[in-house]
Amino acid sequence: MTLLTTVAIGAGILGVALLSTQLLPREVTVVRSAQVSASPSDVIALLASNEGYQRINPYKASDPALKIALFGPSSGVGSGFHFDGKDGKGSQTVAAVTDHSVTYDIDLGAMGKPKQIVDVRSSGGGSAVEWRMKADLGRNPIARIFGLFMDGMIGKTLEQGLTNLNTAA
């Protein structure tokens, strides 16, 4: 086999591999749910507040050295925080608040801009809470492969946040 043939075969295999990653999902959603013993209005108030969110922040348990800098109003749309820790740096901002949900825009720089949505419904004297993280992985083949593992990686974080929420609420 000539060098040119070897290079052509290698380029062909690489091309097929890159094209096949485009068949993987572009969007990934990770969802976790829990029952919380607080009322929906109390849960929403906690989630929409800068200081309230820090009481449930799931990353604090795994990173005691996590640096947090609050910004914006103390609660509601525009409130948020910058973070810098072992899992990365970026910001999280409250993008929308309704009587049954809080939506956060997260900016992780080159790692993307996922959204988190926490839906809260009245249930059995407390609240049924569903916490979702949604990410658009774009056309990046490495990100799409990484997306296959998102549920296992992010799911534990959302579960920790729900546990913290039940304790704080």
Give me the DSSP letters along 89-149. EEEEEEEEE-SSEEEEEEE-GGG---EEEEEEEEETTEEEEEEEEEEE-TT-HHHHHHHTT
CATH top-level class of 3-168: alpha beta
- Asked if the model's pLDDT at residue 76 lies above 70, the reply is yes
Find, among 99, 88, 110, the residue nearest to 157 by Cα: 88
Q: State how far the Cα of 72 lies from the Cα of 59, in Å rounded to an integer.
A: 21
Is pLDDT at 149 greater than 70 in this prediction? yes
- The whole-number average pLDDT for the span 148-165 is 91
pLDDT tens digit sequence for 90-111: 999 999 999 999 999 999 988 8
Per residue in 133-142, pLDDT (tens digit) is 999 888 778 8
